[in-house]
């Protein structure tokens, strides 16, 4: 592709090989990652589950730095779901809270050095006040950065997000002349989601081999390419991110239309699972750099 490794970026031989195979003009504008497999990583080593979470921080660091340095405009990480809070033992939840606060304090310099702006999605107000304070401080400290937007999904549920969007729409209608004056279309709904201003993810990556979306960005992932790797999250690094992007660049994205030859791709035809024929004519959006909740 005739490009070189970004300045200041240390890459080993494998990373360099994958990076040089990428088409720099077709990088995903937004990558979303379901980080999974921390518990299994720990179990395989006869360690407590929380050791997997602790090891997962190194994976977060490497992935975030690589994404920023190669010029990905937006990265969203599914850190903790609403269900995680409700269904996991309090000791594990407390550990995750402490880990998050530590991450926010210790990674600030790296985030700023890489010009990364930090943002959150999820029901933030249900988190402990001390955690909310740390989150607020970290996002303020990066708010002037102009590079990659890093969004952490914390206490996040896509269904709750859609519920909150409908509530916000109804409240806005009540303030503006009632339901008769309310427009309900895709744009109105998108603008009331936590992700307003962000383009929908082009690529969603899930680690540890599970084939589920687990209540993550259900609206926004409608046309995303899905890449599932067997790698457990604590073993994930920049090179695995680059491999995911390489796989993404091999995909034929049609948004419900036809390929350049006037047909669907053989890959879809062969498995009889081309379900996007009825889709509306959606086009990939670009990152709107304005602030969003
Ligand atoms: C899923 O693995 C992972 C989580 C619920 C927590 C994710 C947390 C981190 C990656 C570390 C901290 C993150 C930040 C942003 C500081 P699991 O426990 O469900 O794994 P299992 O399916 O193997 O049990």
Helix axes 129-141, 90-106, angle to 10 degrees: 20
Residues in the chain, overall count: 293
User: Closest ligand 1 atom to the C-alpha of 152?
Assistant: 15
Domains and CATH numbers, the chain: 26-157+201-252 (3.40.1180.10)
User: Quick one: pLDDT band at residue 292, thresholds 50, 70, 90?
Assistant: very low
Lowest mean pLDDT: which of 31-35, 81-85, 114-118, 285-289? 285-289
d(CA 84, CA 4): 41
Q: From the CB of 93, is ligand 1 less than 6 Å away?
A: no
Q: From the CB of 57, is ligand 1 less than 6 Å away?
A: yes
Q: What digits encode the pLDDT tens for the residues 61-106?
A: 999 999 999 999 999 999 999 998 888 999 999 999 999 999 999 9
Q: From the CB of 99, is ligand 1 less than 6 Å away?
A: yes
pTM here is 0.89
């Amino acid at each position: 592709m005739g490009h070189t490794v970004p300045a200041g970026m240390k890459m080993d031989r494998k990373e360099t090989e994958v990076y040089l195979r990428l088409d720099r003009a077709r990088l995903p504008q937004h990558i979303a990652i379901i980080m999974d497999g921390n518990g299994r990583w720990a179990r395989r080593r006869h360690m407590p589950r929380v050791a997997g979470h602790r090891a997962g921080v190194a994976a977060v660091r490497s992935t975030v730095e690589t994404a920023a340095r190669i010029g990905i405009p937006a990265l969203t990480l599914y850190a903790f779901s609403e269900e995680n809070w409700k269904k996991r033992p309090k000791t594990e939840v407390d550990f995750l809270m402490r880990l998050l606060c530590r991450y926010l304090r210790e990674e600030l310099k790296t985030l700023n050095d890489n010009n990364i702006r930090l943002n959150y999605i999820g029901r933030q107000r249900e988190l402990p006040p001390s955690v909310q304070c740390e989150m607020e401080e970290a996002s303020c400290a990066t708010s002037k950065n102009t590079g990659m937007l890093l969004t952490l999904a914390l206490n996040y549920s896509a269904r709750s997000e859609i519920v909150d969007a409908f509530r916000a729409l109804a409240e806005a209608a009540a303030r503006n002349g009632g339901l008769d004056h309310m427009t309900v279309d895709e744009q109105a709904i998108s603008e009331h989601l936590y992700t307003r201003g962000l383009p929908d993810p082009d690529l969603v990556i899930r680690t540890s081999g599970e084939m589920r979306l687990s209540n993550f960005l259900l609206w926004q992932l409608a046309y995303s390419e899905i890449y599932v790797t067997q790698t457990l999250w604590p073993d994930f690094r920049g090179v695995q991110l680059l491999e995911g992007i390489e796989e993404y660049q091999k995909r034929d994205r049609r948004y419900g239309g036809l390929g350049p030859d006037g047909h669907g791709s053989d890959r879809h035809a062969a498995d009889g699972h081309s379900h996007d024929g009825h889709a509306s004519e959606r086009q990939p959006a670009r990152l709107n750099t304005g602030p969003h909740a």
